[in-house]
Amino acid sequence: MNFVKNFTLFLVIFFSVNVNAKGNRKVKVLNDITDTSLTTLTFENNIYNGAVYDNTSIIHTTSSGLNIGISSMNIPIIGGGAQNYENDTYIVASKTFEIVDETYNLTIGSQNGYTLPNPSKLHSFEFIDNQISLDEIIDKDIDIHFGLYHVNKELSTISQTLGSMCGFEYKFASFSLQADYFSGHNNLSGANINTFYNFTDEYAVYLGVIIPEKNSGNDYAGVIGITYKLK
């Protein structure tokens, strides 16, 4: 009964979304640290009015907190014109440092790449992020994060290149709720909210929504995706 109730809420959140115009699926923040090395494959679709975009990434995470991979974003598979940039391909990398055992981590990272097949100007994004686990404080499986980011003008599309970011992940039963927010009014600004259902430790599906910040030039989009972890 709890599964039915939770999954119904999951679907209501997703299908009540109005999807149109430009979204803000532009960057991938990596702040993972694991007991063993693993590779994560993610296949995601962003759904707009008259357009569907694919985001695909392959990320390798080591037990020392190093994340590195390739992320291709905003690949039009139905229609187009719903993004400021399309066919974005990036090298993503980060390093997570465990400051306080199982409680506080610090991550620095970057994302750099071009729109293909006709690259012109480099798109760059750098961040520093703090992660805090609340397990020992409130006896819930909740992690929060907050930090600062810098994006160059080619990716931000305006002169505002500095901002803050924050988010959380709450795990309950076989579900997890993730949310991330990027401040400002540039091409990145807004929130992403996803609800995951974990079939196994390796395989999960998720639904969500992209919520724009005011005056960012972005709008709402629906999200559906699959992740698979290879250990």
Q: Compute the distance between CA of residue 227 and CA of residue 225 in angstroms, rounded to an integer.
A: 7
pLDDT at 66: 93
Question: Taking Cα atoms as reference points, which of 217, 31, 24, 218 lies closest to residue 127?
Answer: 31
CATH of segment(s) 2-230: 2.40.160.40
CA distance 163 to 216: 13
163 — phi, psi (to 5°)? -165, 175
> In angstroms, how far apart are the furthest CA atoms of the chain?
54
pLDDT in tens, the chain (231 residues): 454 344 434 333 333 333 333 444 567 676 666 777 999 999 999 998 778 999 999 999 998 899 999 999 989 999 877 676 788 899 999 999 999 988 999 999 999 999 887 788 899 999 999 999 998 888 889 999 999 999 999 888 888 899 999 999 999 999 999 999 999 888 888 999 999 999 999 999 999 999 988 766 666 899 999 999 998
pTM for this predicted structure: 0.83
pLDDT of 185 reads 86
Alpha helices in 93-196 (DSSP H): 135-138, 153-156
Rg from Cα positions in the chain = 17
Per the CB < 8 A criterion, the answer to whether 229 and 55 are in contact is: no
Which amino acid would we find at residue 151? V
